[in-house]
């Protein structure tokens, strides 16, 4: 049994991966006008404009305006915006990134913990609603999560190219979503010595490119689209920590598989249920632990989190803990609440948990089968 | 004889349906009022002619949910927040669900359209736009090159 275990686990991992992929690829794309506004419409239109040489702009009443979001996701979608009719081409691209998320999680889990780990990760992603729901939306969350988990295998191979690639990925993540700069901080915590500085240097070109674009658009490298559109006068504040009900997505973009039942004790709740009720300080930890089953089933991420705390000497653990902690600390003070902001931290924890659980299963099997 | 009795039995049913339809056509117009009441609002409705009705609510474009049922009535909604948009719809339920009236409340109803654009929005020049058109391919090429380098290094390391 032990001899054939990796082959059996590999076969089932492939089956689970195919199931997960088919679930994403069969998701009906939501009509662009009914997708989260203005995020999805701006990402899609800006990708189309970029592809046709009009610069990083979005049309509002036919007039080109600077979008409020950083350009990373539209840059990733732009090559796909050149093929086929708009907006179906961009929606296909977004679905491809959601499918890539499923593949990336399985590859990362395999690299960290072998075929059993890959099987567990593939199963978790297939039964959780995030990937399928992301497949129907033009939103950047699946791509950020994909890039975050792709860094994990690179931390295991002490090569210059691996370090450079990890740095470049973290830098590109930062121009998809500004707070993803937490991944660069994660690399600084993960690497030691020269590799640390090499990763930082490779992460800089995308960030410098963003600063140059903002300089060329607004006349200052520090003025963002958010500033231009006056998204919020006070984006960060202590009061957001405990504000209930918070201003946020509720369950309308990524919904809990359990319809918020595990947090119903917090009700009476506003429309949207408990997913629209919890203050930031409780919402994000509860979400990451699977209290809202969007990324992983309840408590699935706990073994990974505990293992990461115990194995601080491991670069992957340092990367995951730093990225998760910085993401949570950033968003608990943010004026807007959304489960999707935790896509990358949750994906990292899923991979780590899968590897941890797989190691425990292997140990248990070896012990019991060796005795018998 | 049995057939005739069965036919006769349908008369009151058809009569009730006809009465309800005529009453609806000739009666008062349907009413749906959303009145501010701290906390939240009070929703008052009347289908107008005594026909069965139901009030559904949708928050910020989310799917509709049943809020209340009956030909007329009043029900409070203390969970309504002033900074969110809610759409209340009154439906008549004689046979199929028929939309009678819609009321939208909340700040976002006023600012549904995107903000009026700047008359002179900041723009990048033609040269920058031309460079930006190549950026996606530059990013793709960089990642591909790094990946190829990484695979080669790993292969060398595994051989060594």
- Find the closest chain A residue to B64 by CA distance: A271
| Best mutation target, B124, B126, B127, B158, to test chain A (most A CBs within 10 A) | B124
The confidence score (pLDDT) of residue B103 equals 84
Yes or no, beta carbons of A216 and B124 under 8 Å apart: yes
Residue pair A97/A66 in contact (Cβ under 8 Å)? The answer is: no
Q: Which residue has 């990048």 as its token pair?
A: B124
Closest CA to B56 of A274, A255, A271: A271
Q: Can you tell me the distance from the alpha carbon of A216 to that of A208, in angstroms, rounded to the nearest whole number? A: 12
DSSP state of B93: -
**Which of the residue ranges A358-362, B12-16, B33-37, B137-141 would you say has the lowest mean pLDDT?**
B12-16
Lookup: tokens for A52: 């046709």
What Cα–Cα distance (Å) separates residue A206 from each residue in A69, A157, B150?
A: 15, 24, 20
What sign does the dihedral A190-A191-A193-A196 (CA atoms) show? negative
Q: Does residue B20 carry a pLDDT above 60?
A: no
Q: Do residue A168 and residue B146 have CB atoms under 8 angstroms apart?
A: yes
pLDDT of residue B77: 85
CA separation (Å) from B62 to B66, B84, B88, B147?
A: 13, 12, 12, 42
User: If you measure CA to CA, which chain A residue comes closest to B57?
Assistant: A271
Digit-coded pLDDT (tens) for A26-76: 998 888 888 888 899 999 999 999 999 999 999 876 778 899 899 999 999
Distances (CA, A) of A50 to A74, A80, A336: 8, 11, 28
Taking an 8 Å cut-off on Cβ atoms, the answer to whether B157 and A157 are in contact is yes
In this structure, how many other beta carbons lie within 10 angstroms of the beta carbon of residue A157?
17
Task: Check residue A213 and give its pLDDT.
Answer: 95
Tokens of A170: 């973290």
Q: What's the rounded Cα separation, in Å, for the pair A132 and A28? A: 9
Q: Which residues, at least 6 apart from A93, have a Cβ–Cβ distance to it below 8 Å?
A: A47, A76, A77, A80, A81
User: Burial, A7: exposed, middle or buried (Cβ in 10 Å; 0-12, 13-18, 19+)?
Assistant: exposed
Max intra-chain CA distance, chain B: 101
Residue A33: closest CA among chain B residues belongs to which residue?
B61
What ipTM was reported for this prediction? 0.88
Contacts of B142 in chain A (CB under 8 A): 168
Tokens of A111: 């690299």
Q: Do B129 and A53 touch (CB under 8 A)?
A: yes
Question: pLDDT tens digits, residue range A147-203?
Answer: 999 999 999 877 899 999 999 999 999 999 999 999 999 999 999 989 999 999 999
Residue B24 or residue A239, greater confidence = A239
Closest chain B residue to A215, measured at CA: B124
Q: Using CA coordinates, name the residue in chain B closest to A62.
A: B117
Residue of chain A nearest B39, judged by CA positions = A270
Phi and psi dihedrals of B46, rounded to 5? -155, 120
- A271 with B65: Cβ contact below 8 A: yes
Residue A115, preceding peptide bond in cis (omega within 30° of 0): no
Q: At what angle do helices A88-127 and A39-51 cross, to 10 degrees?
A: 130
Q: Give the one of A34, A65, A157 whose C-beta lies nearest to B121's C-beta.
A: A65
Cβ contact A162–B117 (<8 Å): no
Looking at chain B, which residue has its C-alpha nearest residue A34? B61
Q: Which residues of B touch A (CB under 8 A)?
A: 57, 59-62, 65, 79, 81, 83, 86, 114-115, 117-118, 121-125, 128-130, 132-133, 135-137, 139-140, 142-143, 146-147, 149-150, 152-154, 157
Phi, psi for residue A264 in degrees, rounded to 5? -65, -20
- Residue B26 confidence (pLDDT): 43
Asked if A52's CB is within 8 angstroms of B133's CB, the reply is yes
In chain A, % of residues over pLDDT 90: 79
Selected for mutation to probe chain B from A36, A40, A55 (highest B CB count within 10 Å) is: A55
Residue B95's pLDDT band (cuts 50, 70, 90): low
Q: What is the DSSP letter of B114?
A: P
Phi-psi region of A341 (alpha: psi -120 to 50; beta: other; left: phi over 0): alpha
Please name the member of A51, A157, A272 whose beta carbon is closest to the beta carbon of B59.
Answer: A272
Q: How close, in Å, is residue A65 to chain B by CA atoms? A: 6
Is the CB of A56 less than 8 angstroms away from the CB of B152? Answer: no
Name which of A348, A324, A250, A262 is nearest A298 in CA terms. A262
The answer to whether A165 contacts B143, with C-beta atoms less than 8 Å apart, is yes
């Amino acid at each position: 049994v032990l001899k054939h275990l990796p082959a059996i686990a590999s076969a089932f991992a492939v089956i689970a991966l195919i199931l997960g992929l088919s679930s994403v690829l069969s998701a009906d794309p939501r009509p662009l006008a009914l997708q989260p506004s203005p995020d999805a419409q701006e990402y899609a239109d800006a990708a189309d404009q970029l592809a046709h040489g009009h610069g990083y702009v979005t049309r509002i009443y036919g007039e080109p305006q600077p979008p409020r979001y950083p350009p990373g996701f539209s840059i990733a979608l732009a090559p796909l915006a050149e093929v086929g009719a708009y907006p179906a081409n961009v929606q296909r691209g977004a679905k491809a990134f959601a499918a890539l998320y499923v593949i990336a999680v399985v590859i990362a889990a395999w690299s960290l913990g072998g075929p059993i780990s890959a099987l567990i990760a593939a199963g978790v992603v297939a039964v959780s609603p995030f990937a399928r729901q992301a497949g129907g939306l033009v939103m950047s969350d699946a791509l950020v999560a994909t890039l975050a988990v792709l860094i994990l295998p690179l931390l295991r191979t002490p090569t210059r190219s691996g370090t450079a690639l990890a740095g470049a990925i973290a830098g590109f993540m930062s121009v998809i979503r500004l707070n993803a700069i937490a991944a660069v901080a994660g690399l600084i915590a993960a690497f030691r010595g020269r590799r640390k500085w090499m990763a930082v240097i490779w992460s800089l070109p995308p960030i410098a490119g963003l600063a140059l674009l903002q300089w060329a658009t607004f006349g200052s490298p520090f003025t963002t689209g958010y500033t231009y559109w006056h998204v919020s006068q006070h984006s960060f504040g202590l009061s957001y920590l405990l504000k209930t009900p918070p201003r946020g997505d509720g369950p309308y973009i990524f919904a809990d598989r359990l319809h918020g039942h595990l947090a119903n004790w917090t009700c009476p709740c506003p429309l949207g249920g408990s997913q629209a009720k919890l203050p930031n300080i409780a919402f994000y930890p509860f979400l990451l632990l699977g209290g809202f089953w969007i990324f992983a089933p309840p408590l699935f991420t706990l073994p990974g989190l505990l293992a990461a705390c115990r194995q601080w000497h491991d670069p992957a653990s340092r990367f995951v803990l730093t990225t998760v902690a910085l993401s949570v600390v950033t968003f608990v003070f943010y004026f807007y609440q959304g489960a999707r902001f935790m896509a990358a931290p949750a994906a990292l924890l899923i991979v780590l948990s899968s590897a941890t659980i797989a190691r425990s299963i292997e140990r248990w099997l070896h012990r019991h089968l060796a005795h018998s | 004889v049995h057939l005739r009795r069965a036919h006769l039995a349908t008369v009151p049913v058809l009569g009730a349906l006809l009465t309800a339809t005529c009453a609806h056509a000739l009666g008062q117009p349907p009413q749906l009022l959303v009145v501010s009441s701290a906390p939240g609002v009070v929703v008052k409705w009347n289908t107008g002619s005594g026909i069965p009705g139901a009030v559904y609510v949708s928050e910020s474009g989310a799917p509709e949910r049943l809020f209340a049922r009956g030909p007329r009535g009043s029900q409070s909604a203390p969970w309504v927040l002033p900074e969110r948009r809610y759409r209340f719809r009154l439906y008549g339920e004689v046979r199929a669900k028929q939309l009678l009236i819609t009321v939208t409340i909340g700040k976002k109803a006023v600012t549904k359209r995107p903000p009026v654009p700047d008359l002179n929005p900041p723009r990048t020049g033609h040269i920058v736009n031309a460079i930006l058109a190549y950026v996606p391919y530059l990013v793709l090429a960089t990642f591909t090159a790094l990946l190829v380098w990484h695979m080669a290094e790993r292969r060398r390391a595994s051989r060594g």
